[in-house]
């Protein structure tokens, strides 16, 4: 199982950017036992210039991708937001925040995400707080992007403070994604769910992710690939599952991490139904 292809494994991929992947990847997900995905709104690799550009993207997420996925028997859900990498322009951010509620009403949208911080700036904080207010107002699930590398620890703490200051938000309805060894303890202590991202160099390897499960336990935690337009692996979850199996972890624990846990969190949205 060097390539992790085992159709007997049932996996939900809760964080993947399929707009940036080829149709071949949908086929690979399907034949590998991944029949449910959720796709957070994110940065396209360049800054979009207008709110209309975001409308096009949100239509792609809510109309085109579910149809593309369905051809392979995959259920495609998504999250809507303005990504923190595009939050520095407050005027544009305000325009995009205005249209977000229209899309949150769509049938495959499970919540607000991936919101958070990138370089931990004051404007990013303002836009984060506005997203949190929208989620609180509508009782939406939240998926949080935490910053990369040296910015992660500080950003994760700032994000959690911002969310916890909104008293209408229950942390059990928020997943703080891209957790790593220096942030997971704090995230779990505060009652949030935590996501581990299997991504080359800048996030977790399968081996480190399994080390984290062995250290911090398997409750309220999921793994995802966050595969996008950069070098990344849409089948990374299978490789982590295989790493667990190789070390002698039980099939029940593997199913909990890769299927039961994401299903439990996402099922807090009435729109979500796992394959």
Partner 1 sequence: MRSIVTYTGSAFRPLHREGEKRGIRMSGDKSPMPAKKVLEVYFLENRARLLEIASFLDRIDRTKDPETGKADFRYRALMRGLRILLESEGNRTKALQINFSDLSREPRQSAAGLKRAYGAWEGPFGENH
For partner 1, the binding residues (CB under 8 A) are 85, 87-88, 118-125, 147-154, 157-158, 180-183, 185-186, 188-189, 202, 207-208, 211, 214-217, 246-249
As given in the structure block, the two tokens for residue 214 are 């062995």
97 touches 130 (CB < 8 A): yes
Q: How far is the C-alpha of 175 from the C-alpha of 251, rounded, in Å?
A: 24
Q: How far is the CB of 120 from partner 1 (least distance, A)?
A: 5
Question: Which residue, 108 or 261, is less far from partner 1 as judged by CB?
Answer: 261
Q: How far is the CB of 129 from partner 1 (least distance, A)?
A: 11
Question: Which residue, 7 or 45, is less far from partner 1 as judged by CB?
Answer: 45
Q: How far is the CB of 91 from partner 1 (least distance, A)?
A: 13
Q: Work out the number of other CB atoms within 10 angstroms of the CB of residue 180.
A: 20
Task: Return the residue matching tokens 């779990």.
Answer: 188
Q: How far is the CB of 182 from partner 1 (least distance, A)?
A: 4
Question: Which residue, 123 or 268, is less far from partner 1 as judged by CB?
Answer: 123
As given in the structure block, the two tokens for residue 97 are 């925040």
Question: Which residue, 28 or 174, is less far from partner 1 as judged by CB?
Answer: 174
121 touches 88 (CB < 8 A): yes
262 touches 77 (CB < 8 A): no
């Amino acid at each position: 199982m060097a390539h992790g292809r085992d159709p007997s494994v049932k996996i939900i991929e809760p964080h993947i950017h399929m707009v940036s992947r080829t149709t071949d990847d949908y086929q690979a997900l399907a034949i590998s036992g991944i029949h449910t995905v959720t796709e957070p709104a994110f940065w396209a690799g360049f800054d979009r210039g207008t709110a209309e550009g975001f409308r096009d993207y949100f239509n792609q997420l809510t109309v085109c991708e579910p149809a593309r996925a369905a051809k392979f028997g995959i259920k495609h859900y998504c999250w809507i937001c303005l990504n923190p990498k595009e939050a520095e322009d407050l005027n544009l951010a305000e325009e995009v925040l205005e249209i977000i509620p229209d899309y949150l009403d769509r049938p495959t949208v499970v919540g607000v995400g991936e919101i958070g911080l990138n370089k931990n700036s004051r404007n990013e904080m303002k836009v984060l707080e506005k997203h949190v207010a929208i989620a609180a107002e509508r009782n939406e699930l939240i998926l949080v992007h935490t910053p990369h590398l040296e910015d992660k620890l500080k950003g994760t703490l700032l994000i959690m403070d911002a969310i916890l200051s909104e008293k209408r938000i229950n942390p059990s309805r928020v997943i703080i994604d891209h957790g790593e060894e220096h942030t997971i303890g704090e995230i779990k202590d505060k009652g949030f769910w935590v996501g581990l991202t299997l991504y080359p160099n800048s996030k977790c390897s399968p081996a480190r992710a399994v080390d984290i499960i062995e250290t911090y336990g398997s409750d309220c935690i999921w793994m995802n690939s966050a595969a996008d337009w950069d070098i990344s692996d849409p089948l990374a979850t299978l490789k982590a599952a295989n790493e667990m199996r190789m070390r002698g972890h039980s099939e029940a624990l593997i199913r909990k991490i890769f299927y039961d846990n994401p299903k439990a969190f996402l099922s807090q949205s009435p729109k979500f139904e796992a394959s």
